[in-house]
Structure 1
Amino acid sequence: MKKRQCTYYLLDFKKISSFILLFLFFLILFCSTASAGKTDSKFHILLFNSYHKGYLWSDEITRGVEENLTKDGVVLHVEYMDTKRHFDEGYLSLLSQLLLLKHAKCQYDVVIVSDNSAFEFIKNRGQAIFGNTPIIFCGLNYLTEGDLKGMVQVSGVNEEADLEGNINLIQRLHPQRHNLVVVTDNTITGHKIQQEVGRIQQSLGHDSVGIELVYDVTITELKEKLRSLDNNTSLLFTFFSRDRNGVFLEYDESIATVVENTDVPIYVSWKFSLRDGVVGGYLTDGYGQGQEAAEKVNLILAGTPVSEIPITWKSPNRFCLEYALLKKFNVDFNRIPEDAEILHSPPTFVQEYREQIIKVGIIIGVLILLVFALAYGLIRSTRAEETLRRAENFISNIIDSMPSVLVGVDVEGRVTHWNSRARTATGLSGLQVIGQPLEQAFPRLSTEMAQVQEAMRTREVVLQPRQAHRVDNETCYEDVTVYPLVSNGIEGAVIRLDDVTEKVRLEEMMVQSEKMLSVGGLAAGMAHEINNPLAGMIQTANVMRDRLSNREMPANIRAAEASGIPMSAIYSYMEARGIPKMLDRICESGARAAEIVTNMLQFARKNSSTVSSHDLVSLMDQCLELAGSDYDLKKHFDFRQIKIVKKYQKDLPLIPCEKSKIQQVILNILRNGAEAMQTNPDQTDKEHCFTIEINQRDPGWIRLEIADNGPGMDEATRKRVFEPFFTTKPVDMGTGLGLSVSYFIITENHNGRMNVESTVGEGARFTIELRVGGKNI
């Protein structure tokens, strides 16, 4: 039965699994079908480049397309074939498979193909990838209607590098030079150019210039050929992107190679080939090709069928020539075409004179207008200046009234704004610091320039909370916020400093108060449970010590005689075994445990001590007298050897407090500081000193500061110094409750404030603040 039951469950599980797999299959099929369609309202355009990103011609076409697609919601996707560097059939086959995987499920509104390689690829392989998506071509060299045979949904702009126009221009400008070298390569476009040059050679007469075509060469051979050209030769450079060995050159590299290796007049067919050393030519522009293609795409997106968009067969070329090189090669300017653009040509005398006439006329007209408009303009100007001055004063007053330090800087870190709080913090006026580097004007902000640069780069606010700095030997805290400014072409940042010292101290005190309250409940229960066995232990230890070591006690003498052992022998044995010292340690340990219990009870119950008014100066002096009797021979500790420096403010008001509690706190601080100074191995030659200050800095508060010149403490220790049971002393020397009890007495029993500041090697400073009106004020 068990076997059949297991089989039944197994078959049930198989059915459920099959159902789940079938459901997932249909879900995936549905999602794939849905994603294959167009799921948004945007227009997706694919620009299919023959070459690669960074290739100047392709970049210019891409820029022309991007900047002239005007339809809202257009998303332009760009692909690069990289056929200048990879052009074999195996690569094209792999590229076809990759594009099929990548784009077969994408629905494009239009595909733009740039240059011959991409056009041939789309013509032969594009149907499988893009289906009947409309095709707009640009940058095709010497396109014929036969090239479009079998293609539908196609329009575009022909790129016609007018070689014949350039050759005619060269013959016209250099009639004394009878030889012309045409440089190209063996790419697809290069083959088109070779065919066009062959056609031109056949159409020229015998008395025309002799044309030599240079194409199937290495870079080294090309350089040698260029260096061999004589003064009877001109040169027409189309492009040379790949040599016979397949070495690829960028446009700027190839034209630079030509310019650097010959001194004959150099002409080009594309605008991007213009550079120093090139005379010019009848030029084709890549940006114009992209612009023309984008305008046809705009028509399609507006609803015009592709069949109604005519192909632009005539490439928009124009003459462009360099003045300095025309002069260098003694070109007759009368032979230059009238519509040619002359680059960097100096103005003629007539042109200069005409501009002067225009300027004089403009000046006279402006002066006449100024005569009539001067009064009105002055009134408006005066009012505007007054309004501006009031606005500036208003904004300045707002900034100066803010409690924060505000400092404006430019991108170079020079001060541009400086409010009154910044002036108070540094003692420097705005006139002294405007234009100065930030590290000179506000030295402690010199480290913030990295955050300023980061804020301006990311255009996001940078906040650095609780940055510590020293002011009058006190540690203060501030929040540093950097706001980037990028508006109206003005870049910079505003640094805001907010003093959060009191906030930090209040938070630290709140944390300590919470810890005290949490320990209170535990302390009460533990104290009562420990007191009874502790008292019995101490009492028993004292009785044992009396019975074993008191040789004069009659009961001890009688018991010893009854046992037949002299009392002196018992005492000698006890001394030899160190038993009296052991009993002393038991008593000392018990007393120490009792002290811990007493301190723990401080947390658990309210004290009923009487609160009365006292002079804090008198309390402090009494504590110093009590501390002066503190001496520990075993620890070589003597409070009387410590120098006391008193800085008391006169005529301080009385404070309501519990005298014994305040004395307990002060004595605890003095003892801890004295022990720290006298047990510090690095301070053997240094005079130990307490500096005690009592004053009234804030109305309603009396401030007591006790500073020592001991070893100090690190930040981690400082933050935990008021925690219960936290101590840095050896196990047998500290309970870890002294400062925590003191903190509880000041903050809870007297509603005061207590904190500590310390730096390693520079001592510690405890600050106690008590209300003049007492706890209930």
Structure 2
Amino acid sequence: MKKILILINLLFFSVCYAQTSTKEILLLHSYHKGYKWTDEISSAIEKEFASYNNINLTTVYMDTKRVSNKIYYEKLYELYKEEFKTRKFDVIIASDNSALEFLIEYQKRLFPNIPILFCGINYFDESILEKNGMKKYVSGVLEQVDLEKNFELISKIHPKLKKLIIINDKSRTGLIMKEDLEKIFPKYRKKFKIEYIDDMRMNELKKVVSKTDKNTALLFVLLFKDKTGKFFTYKQSLKQIKSLAHVPIYGLWDFYLNYGVIGGLLTSAQAQGEAVSKMAMKVLNGTDISQIPILKKSPNRYIFDYNELKKFDINIEKYLTNYKIINRPFSFYRKYKILVNITIITMVIFIILIILMKANINRRKKLQRALSNRLEFDKVLLDTIPNAIYYKNVDGKFIGCNLAFADLMQLPKHDIIGKTAFELFPEDIAIKNTQVDEKILKTLETDTSEMALHFSNKEIKYFILNKAVYKNIDGRIGGIVCIMDDITERVQQKQFLIQQSKLAEMGDMVAAIAHQWNEPLVELSAQVQDIQTSYLLNELKDCQVEEFVKDSMIQIQYMSRTLNDFRNFLKPSTKKVIFLIKKALDEINEIIGKQVFYSNIDMHFNYIDGEDLVIYGYENEFKQVLLNLINNAKNKIMENQSEKRGNIIINISKEQEYNIIEIIDDGGEIDEKIISSIFEPYFTTKTDGTGIGLYMAKVIVEDKMHGFIKVKNFEGNVVFTIKVPYKKD
């Protein structure tokens, strides 16, 4: 137990030590203190680490702007070896190329296995990390000047620019910049003349700059040495150019700001320092440097000097939305812009309100009167419309209706408001009504559906419901408006036509029944004569009587069944049911099968997908359709019949959501001139025809059963195709 407690204490103290132990960071700058780029990187890094008491930052300057050769690097190596021989660093930050190259060369000897993070690196070649196996120790932030974007910006701000003078030097960075500039020149030389200068004495350069006119701009890249080799600080070179230039000067680095450069998309030392500091914190917190990718996109920023923008009357807001302006003078309005704007707007609003108050009051009174008159007019208008109209809110509660709807519901209008469909309609209708409402509230589409209402006096009324979503003035959905169209008379008229069509078929039906009864009557007659003969000869036996009764009953039942089929055919179906196609066809065959046969016609039934296919619809009306089509086929064959037997082929098959019945006859094709009109009401080619048989067939199949019926001529035959659904709606 003691050992466990000791172990826990050791772990606790080791964690505490890890949290409070000092972290050592070496910041190695390529250039010297006082060089603004370097100073701003240092400032950003120091600011990032300032809040951490356990981070010790050591900063060293290599001064390679003034001295940069192999012997100098060797001397620095000897100096740092002596200076840091007793120091152990957790991470090293290299600022700019020279520092990174020095560390890649000497890290193994000076700082073995210490991770290195770089920033401000121009034109980075990743292959440099292969040297001395440094790739696993190095990551950082690239410094990448965006020349293309700066050229775009200059040409946008100065659309009438005739000449762009580019000032550079022949330093290592300058030569690399020249290579990139030469890639861009061809594109922009079409817009303006480009004068590139990197090999002049300062005096010569000042003469060129002094002769510039208003249609010229300068792009100041670098100038640390002129043609004579004379060294300048970044301030000295820019100030001498600025003193004689009377045109805008654009730059590529933020350290030139405050010394005469307008600005541009600048490589920011501060952004470089902030980015590399965040990477350093990851390393100090235990992240392996190999897991920290190099940030290849330089964090450049659009930065401008207010004084230079004002001097050349440039409104940068026209060209950019995301930018920073330095040296902007204090402005109470800009600092408190929102507050000032709100105050001004509020005062203006109050003044307007005060001025217009009386006019608004009078206008409101007029509007109230006009609105009251309009509401009264709309109320009378709605109540005058014979169609029942109601409107609901999104919760499904009735919020208004016209007089026709109230009369239909046999309730006062005020008693309807607040109720739901379940309180006014039967449950099945209310459920369907609610489902439709939910659908159109989601889709915002209109909907048309049918509804049958049963009243206490056993009256049935049929309606078409036209529904649409309405919106409030604020654009939100307010609810649903429904207009009910009473189609009772139309439904009854169609039902009358269906019955009329059935009566039109009765002649053929009676003839068919006569055919059906002929055989059993002959059979009964023969049996009666046989039993009479046996009786007269005194040879009648009990078994003969029983057999006579049995056979007679079979014939009588057959005749009775035929009458029942006939009676069922005449009876209208009151509701949709699912029924077998084969059963319907068998019953039709029972009625007219023998008549078709004795008409020298063969009728064939082909159940292609089996005999158990079903239909959802009105059974008796559908049998009427089949009977009409078969009778028409029989009559057509009889009109055009030769000595050979005719054929009626009925194919039954299945297709997706529909079952298909094809009735094919070889009685001759329909004239193409009239084939598109045969389903029209009262169209007939018979002298004694009514013209409603095929019309009602279309009404029954398409309107009542939501199917399809069509006709075509095919290879000398006529093909009627019926598609009807086999599922409930």
State TM-score, norm by structure 2.
Answer: 0.41
Q: TM-score, normalised by structure 1?
A: 0.39
Larger Rg: 2
